[in-house]
């Protein structure tokens, strides 16, 4: 699986993270949350970024002033893809749980929300996939739409400020059959009531991927008017050229036998 790993720079840590990180990072160091995505062309629509509240994460040193917040599994994979300077080495400077960083303000590259977006909890993040960090695009991802609605509805229960989950959702891609907010359309049409409706959400995700890729047209950003198929590699490359993203490959879980 070939992902685009995006760099969301921390602007302000949550209180819990500030306490946990005291003295662990050099002055002026940049820390990035690094979500893995298959949809770089949707990055204009980022309106928060998710972590699993109970998942363990680390902050790993890449250079003297650049650090990544990812799962240990992802850091290890990255260390064998030339992402860290020394092959196979991924120095950890801090341990944090997802819940510690909820409320942190980050800068999401290309996002319409220039003032930054918040780190929010998502119960369905899988620790064993990608980087364990998931950027939220509620216009085009049904999982993200269902989660953000639930967070806004039960903000107190989740221990977040309601307004963190209420940033405007802007159209990024237009499809002939599902309009310009495909995730919202599918969630409503399929009567998905909660992020826990796993089966329907998997079906909705499947439709959204196919419709977006084969019939989608950009209606926002530099490549507005182009098809999603054309825009996808262009957005990806411009993020990489700007130093705001890099390629991250996921080993597909196949165990390679050395004896056979
Ligand atoms: C932004 C985005 C925008 C995404 C979209 C999807 C969509 P797949 O196909 O199963 O490999 N993701 C990444 N890591 C995790 C994780 N650890 N746990 C849960 N979800 C994760 O899924 C890849 C997509 O799943 C990634 O691309 C990421 O969300 C999420 F408009 O990033 B995506 C129709 C989907 N649209």
For residue 84, give the CATH number of its domain. Answer: 3.90.740.10
In the chain, how many domains are there? 1
- Residue 94 Cβ inside 6 Å of ligand 1? The answer reads no
User: CA of 159: how far to CAs of 62, 65, 68, 120, 248, in Å?
Assistant: 32, 31, 25, 10, 32
Kindly report, residue by residue over 110-141, the tens digit of the pLDDT: 999 999 999 999 999 999 999 999 999 999 99
Residue 22 within a domain:
yes
Contact 113, 105 (CB under 8 A): no
Chain centroid, CA 238 distance in Å: 18
First to last CA, the chain: 25
| Domain-embedded: residue 43 | yes
ipTM: 0.98
Q: Is residue 105 part of a domain?
A: yes
123 found inside a domain? yes
Ligand 1 nearest-atom number relative to CA 204: 34
Whole-prediction pTM value? 0.96
On whether residue 48 sits in a domain, the answer given is yes
State if residue 134 touches ligand 1 by the CB under 6 angstroms criterion.
Answer: yes
Protein residue whose Cα sits closest to atom 28 of ligand 1: 37
Confidence of residue 251 (pLDDT cuts 50, 70, 90): confident
Residue 199 falls within a domain, yes or no?
no
- What distance in Å separates the CA atoms of residue 83 and residue 163, rounded to the nearest whole number? 35
Residue 224 lies in a domain: no
Pocket test for ligand 1, best of 38, 144, 228 (most atoms within 8 A of CB): 38
Closest alpha carbon to 182 in 151, 214, 160: 214
Cα(28) to ligand 1 centroid in Å equals: 31
Question: Is residue 150 assigned to a domain?
Answer: yes
- Going from the Cα of 5 to the center of ligand 1, the distance in angstroms, rounded, reads 11
**Residue 17 belongs to domain spanning:** 2-168+231-249
Beta carbon of 39 within 6 Å of any ligand 1 atom: yes
Residues 6+ apart with CB under 8 A from 12: 104, 105
């Amino acid at each position: 699986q070939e992902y685009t790993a995006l760099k969301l720079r921390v602007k302000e840590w949550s209180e819990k993270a500030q306490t946990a990180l005291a003295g662990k990072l050099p002055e002026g160091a940049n820390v990035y949350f690094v979500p893995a995505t298959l949809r770089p062309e949707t990055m204009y629509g980022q309106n928060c970024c998710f972590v699993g509240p109970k998942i363990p994460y680390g902050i790993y040193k890449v250079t003297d002033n650049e650090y990544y917040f990812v799962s240990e599994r992802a850091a290890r994979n990255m260390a064998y893809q030339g992402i860290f300077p020394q092959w196979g080495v991924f120095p950890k400077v801090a341990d944090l749980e997802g819940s510690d960083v909820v409320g942190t303000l980050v800068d999401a590259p290309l996002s319409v929300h220039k003032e930054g977006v918040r780190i929010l909890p998502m119960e369905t993040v899988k620790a064993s996939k990608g980087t364990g960090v998931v950027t939220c695009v509620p216009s085009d991802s049904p999982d993200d739409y269902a989660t953000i609605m639930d967070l806004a509805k039960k903000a107190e229960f989740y221990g977040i400020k309601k307004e963190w989950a209420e940033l405007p959702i802007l159209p990024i891609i237009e499809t002939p059959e599902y309009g310009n907010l495909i995730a919202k359309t599918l969630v409503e049409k399929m009567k998905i009531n909660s992020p826990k409706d796993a089966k329907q959400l998997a079906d909705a995700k499947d439709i959204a991927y196919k419709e977006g890729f084969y019939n989608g047209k950009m209606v926002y950003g530099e490549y507005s008017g182009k098809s999603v198929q054309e825009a996808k590699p262009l957005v990806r490359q411009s993020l990489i050229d700007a130093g705001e993203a890099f390629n991250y490959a996921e080993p597909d879980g196949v165990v390679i036998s050395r004896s056979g």
